[in-house]
Chain A
Amino acid sequence: MIYRETGQFKTSYAADQAIFPIAQDRLGMLVILAVAFVAVPLMASDYWLTTILLPFVIYGLAALGLNILTGYAGQLSLGTGGFMACGAFAAYKLATAFPELHVLVVFALSGLITAAVGMLFGLPSLRIKGFYLAVATLAAQFFLLWLFNKVPWFTNYSSSGVISAPPLAIWGETYVTGFEATPRAKYLFALTVVTLLALAAKNMTRLKIGRAWMAIRDMDIAAEIIGIRPLATKLSAFAVSSFYCGVAGALWAFAYTGAVEALAFDINVSFRILFMIIIGGLGSILGSFLGAGFIVLLPIFLNNALLAMGMAEAVALASHLEFMIMGALIILFLIVEPHGLARLWQILKEKLRKWPFPY
């Protein structure tokens, strides 16, 4: 019966509850990490590092942040850009006001500040859902951008409204932000931050807090009856999500572009990241990165494909094509496979595991 002694199963639960319970997945993760941390820095050109890989990992982190809120906790948000801006400007103010702060402290604090701001804008989620909540987060997007654009204090009274990331070193003279940092150093720094946060997200989403988020998403009434507090749970999702988006914004300003203005995080960014999680897969960590990779690579791929076909005016055509393909895919995924590329990958894996004997 229920209380029977089952100590003998303990070891197998421990294995089953490990972060990557399946051996192939563990191996796959190790290969990906080895490629990302060793092979890429050795082989990729500066062009690849700065124009493709850095935006990819940073967008991946922002998409992961939004996915926690929207995919796991079911709270639709269009404020991602605003929260990224919040992280970028918080990091800038911290790094310029306290130059002696370590870069990791700057990033952690800007994440925490964004988390607090996110919770504030998450308060209406107790009362409103779906479309109306999306409108409320849209208000966050516009308000935050307006604030960073209009209040000169945030840019240290720069006349152009542009903030330039100061050089910060991870140790000694190894700079990881600003113009002094090499593309390789910036990439490795961003990759490390993103990897650690992705692992933390993987853990959170599969443990108590993640189950609470999904329970609220799937059936808030039943969740409440079980003892899950709706407001606290939704706010925790807003906090964690905003933390991730804030760190992504700080990375964007400090490690990717080096100098940004508030408008770099406009509503288009919010939509772009929303498209990433729709295409990549709602409620999937892998999906956040697949979606980010897809949307970062799509225009580059189209450009090159058209150029290879010898098309003149390729640039304009490519951007039209990009919109059409993205639009079609979003509709397709929303209707046919809300779990996106991540789900397709999973299906493929199942097939491979059973191949060549499907039964």
Chain B
Amino acid sequence: MSGVQQRESAVQRKRHIGDVLLAAENIGLRFGGVQALAGVSFDIREGEIRAIIGPNGAGKSSMLNVINGFYQPQEGHIVWRGQRMRRMRPHFAARNGIARTFQNIALFKGMTTLDNIMTGRMLKMRATMLEQAVFWGRARREELEHRAFVERIIDFLEIPHIRNVPVGKLPYGLQKRVELARALAMEPTLLLLDEPMAGMNLEEKEDMCRYILDVNEEFGTTVALIEHDMGVVMDISDRVVVLDYGRLLADGPPEEVRRDPEVIKAYLGVSQD
């Protein structure tokens, strides 16, 4: 990860970390007999890059699903910009700019890259069905406006060559990138990334790190990401949450977390040099 390590560490980057954007309070989530999450509390501040780490099955993906309302926890609350609720709802999350990528890519396989990314603009479009049927007035104006925005994302993520390819035909690494593009098209305030670099080679990982850092720095987009690559986590995140067996094991800046004896015991083990 030399390319990434050459970067200034997160603290040195000049960014504004603001108020708490979202807080999870005492989240408890069960699937039948499986306690996926138990009493998990942490918060995400505006403008930060927040990492969620932990061994396989620790409940990381479940946590993101609770945050964007896809899972309904049996216990706890979600606080969004000071608004406390029993649970998040997917539509509320989307309206409020919580965007998300999935661990096992959830793209629209039969649609082109362009159409996939355009779906990210869906909530910003107002034209009625009738206006769309005749492609006139607002429908036409909106389409061109959003197309221009999406083209900028396509340029930014360096994927113009696959614009018109059905995403089902793309290799894994590019699919991950298209999924990020679709999330960015929502102009998210909070971007949830579930293992955005899994299965990528070194070069692809470096690209992905660069995109995440750029998005965060340029637009102040808050990022919460799950990642197994400790090099990446230490490098780009401001604060790290460690989950283990559904419980919160540690929470703090990366250097602190990596020295935490509990964490070393449960997760990092001897593999950490």
What is A's interface to B at a CB cutoff of 8 Å? 1-4, 6, 9-10, 13-14, 16-17, 19, 200-201, 203-204, 207-209, 211-212, 214-215, 217-219, 221-229, 236, 240, 283
The 10 tightest CB contacts between A and B, nearest first, are A227-B94, A222-B106, A218-B108, A200-B133, A227-B123, A207-B132, A203-B135, A208-B125, A13-B147, A224-B90
A to B CB contacts below 8 Å, 9 in the list? A6-B148, A17-B140, A201-B133, A207-B139, A207-B143, A208-B143, A211-B122, A218-B108, A236-B129
Return chain A residues, CB-CB under 8 Å to B111: 211, 214-215, 218
Q: Are B129 and A204 in contact (CB under 8 A)?
A: yes
Q: Are A6 and B135 in contact (CB under 8 A)?
A: no
Chain B facing A: main interface SS: helix
What is B's interface to A at a CB cutoff of 8 Å? 68, 70, 90-91, 93-95, 99-100, 102, 106-111, 115, 118-120, 122-123, 125, 127, 129, 132-135, 139-140, 142-144, 147-149, 151-153, 155-156, 182, 184, 186, 214-215, 218-219
Q: Are B122 and A228 in contact (CB under 8 A)?
A: yes
Return chain B residues, CB-CB under 8 Å to A229: 91
Return chain A residues, CB-CB under 8 Å to B155: 4, 6
Return chain B residues, CB-CB under 8 Å to A219: 106-109
Return chain B residues, CB-CB under 8 Å to A4: 152, 155
Distance A16 CA – B106 CA, assembled complex (angstroms):
27
Q: Are B148 and A218 in contact (CB under 8 A)?
A: no
Distance A120 CA – B95 CA, assembled complex (angstroms):
28
Return chain B residues, CB-CB under 8 Å to A212: 119, 122
Q: Are B118 and A211 in contact (CB under 8 A)?
A: yes
Query: Nearest-CB distance from A6 to chain B (Å)?
Result: 6
Q: Are B135 and A2 in contact (CB under 8 A)?
A: no
Write the chain A residue with the least CB distance to B129. Answer: A209
Count of CB-CB pairs between chains A and B under 8 Å: 125
Q: Are A10 and B144 in contact (CB under 8 A)?
A: yes
Q: Are A17 and B110 in contact (CB under 8 A)?
A: no
Distance A209 CA – B125 CA, assembled complex (angstroms):
10
Centre residue among B106, B134, B139, B218 by max chain A CB count within 10 A? B106
Q: Are B122 and A17 in contact (CB under 8 A)?
A: no
Q: Are B184 and A2 in contact (CB under 8 A)?
A: yes
Q: Are B135 and A226 in contact (CB under 8 A)?
A: no
**Contacts A2-B156, A17-B143, A207-B139 known; A228 to B106 CB distance under 8 Å?**
no
Per a CB cutoff under 8 Å, which of B70, B132, B152, B184 touches A6? B152
Q: Are B148 and A13 in contact (CB under 8 A)?
A: yes
Q: Are A214 and B100 in contact (CB under 8 A)?
A: no
Write the chain B residue with the least CB distance to A5. Answer: B152
Query: Nearest-CB distance from A179 to chain B (Å)?
Result: 33
Q: Are A226 and B122 in contact (CB under 8 A)?
A: yes
